[in-house]
Structure 1
Amino acid sequence: MTILLCLLGYLLGSIPFGLLLTSFAGAGDIRGIGSGNIGATNVLRTGRRGLAAATLLLDGVKGAAAVLIGDWLAGPDIAMLAGLAAVLGHLFPVWLRFKGGKGVATALGVLIAAAWPVGLAACAVWLVVAAIARRSSLASLAALASAPLVGLILEDFSLVKLALTIAVLVFVSHQANIRRLIAGTEPRIGRQNAKGA
């Protein structure tokens, strides 16, 4: 059951909603636009805010679904593994030769489903940092870094381990963004010709 639920979580996470939505809407292959990323931030660079919002929502829902299904069938511990598998699926989707997105929306969906106070706190951090700094990558890194800390206060150590593992994965996926943030060259939210975000 554990293996099956982790496989299901991975397959859910690997659904490339950003690519599918932009293709169906006639916006072209998102991988040829902006940073080439399949996530909501890059979808926004098509100028289609509705598509970006839908991508953000669906990427979050697939992470949450993996956790909720896992919890329903096997309990919270297996649910967290299924959620982690969903994040890995988004980062390394088999359908796209293991070249996926940055995992932020899916990670937040997993955290909301696993422990909603921690997930909502991370979302709040994202919104505040994004509003101030206008950089999606910085907001994402701050949000996922805050989750293990909030988990230490509000939840048990299993959730902290999940949040910390997800944070490490997201930080690794943002290596190029981190270098640009340090150099002061990271693009602001909404720039259509930005690279790498």
Structure 2
Amino acid sequence: MVVWIICVLIISYLVGAIHGSKVAQFFSGVNIKNEGLKNSGASNAAIVLGMKYGVLVALIDILKGVFVISGTRFFMQHFSLFSDVEQDLLLYLAGAAVILGHNFPIYTRFKGGKGTASIIGILFAIYWPIGLIGLLLLIGTTFLTDYLLIGVFVFYFVFVGGTIWFTEGFASIVIASFLFVMALILHIENFRRLASNEEPRISAFLRKKKPSM
């Protein structure tokens, strides 16, 4: 069983390390890690290449989380290896491995994105009604405030709150809290720009001229 868990975590990390930004680079010819905010996340793709590319990168990164969580759940239920508490724990461990792979991919010297799109996919796959609520609040807050950053952390609050409310066992809450704290640390520069009124606004993304695909 331990070997099985290790295999799940390794696969989850490697899937997480596959970046949607590489697809955007294939179509646009632009490596977004060298432009804008200099990371491979969907928000930077939107800043550098326009909203269409931001959505493309986000969808690919969201699907990573959905794929890993759905696959992990299928095998756990198919082989009946774990109790309900253990299933929740392994789903959250697999999700954390996806985020770590996305944020710190080994093949790019551990310089990746910030995990927002992938955490959306993870929550959708774990419990889709809460994921849908979180996504709607993310979109609504983003357009209301004109800052994606604020919408992102509204989603993280939903993620942690949903974990506390719906999962069994304390370990899942610890993992969700760890992912929240990691997101805070990775977004420190964004918060500094927000405080100095330099954080990019969502309206600027929408107005940006997009390269043809």
TM-score norm. by structure 1 comes to: 0.87
Shift of 1:147: 2.0
Answering whether residue 184 of structure 2 is matched by residue 171 of structure 1, we say yes
Q: Does 2:136 match 1:134?
A: no
Offset of 1:157 from its aligned partner?
A: 4.6
Match of 1:8 among 6, 11, 15: 11
Percent identity, aligned pairs only? 27
Matches for 1:1-197 after TM superposition, within 5 Å: 1-18=4-21, 20-74=22-76, 75-157=87-169, 159-189=172-202, 190=204
Contact between 1:69 and 1:79, CA under 8 Å: does it hold in 2?
A: no
Q: Aligned partners of 1:153 and 1:167: how far apart in 2?
A: 16
Cα deviation, residue 171, structure 1 = 1.2
Amino acid at match of 1:21: V
Query: In structure 1, what is the Cα distance between the partners aligned to 2:44 and 2:31?
Result: 11
Q: Which has the larger radius of gyration?
A: 2
| Higher alpha-carbon deviation: 28-37 or 87-96 | 28-37
Farther off after superposition, 113-122 or 102-111:
113-122
Contact 2:92 2:176 in 1 (8 A): no
- The alpha-carbon deviation at position 37 of structure 1 amounts to 1.7
Say if 1:148 and 1:161, in contact at 8 Å, map to a contact too: no
User: In structure 1, how many angstroms separate the alpha carbons of the residues matched to 2:167 and 2:90?
Assistant: 17
* CA drift at 1:94: 0.8
Q: What is the SS of the residue equivalent to 1:187? A: coil
User: What is the alpha-carbon distance in structure 2 between the residues aligned to residue 37 and residue 136 of structure 1?
Assistant: 16
When normalised by structure 2's length, the TM-score is 0.81
Count how many residue pairs are aligned between Structure 1 and Structure 2: 191
Query: 2:67 and 2:162 mapped to 1: Cα distance?
Result: 22
- Distance between the aligned counterparts of 2:163 and 2:94, measured in 1? 19
Shift of 1:118: 2.4
Instruction: Give the C-alpha shift of residue 54 in structure 1.
Output: 1.5
Structure 2 unaligned runs (5+)? 77-86, 209-213
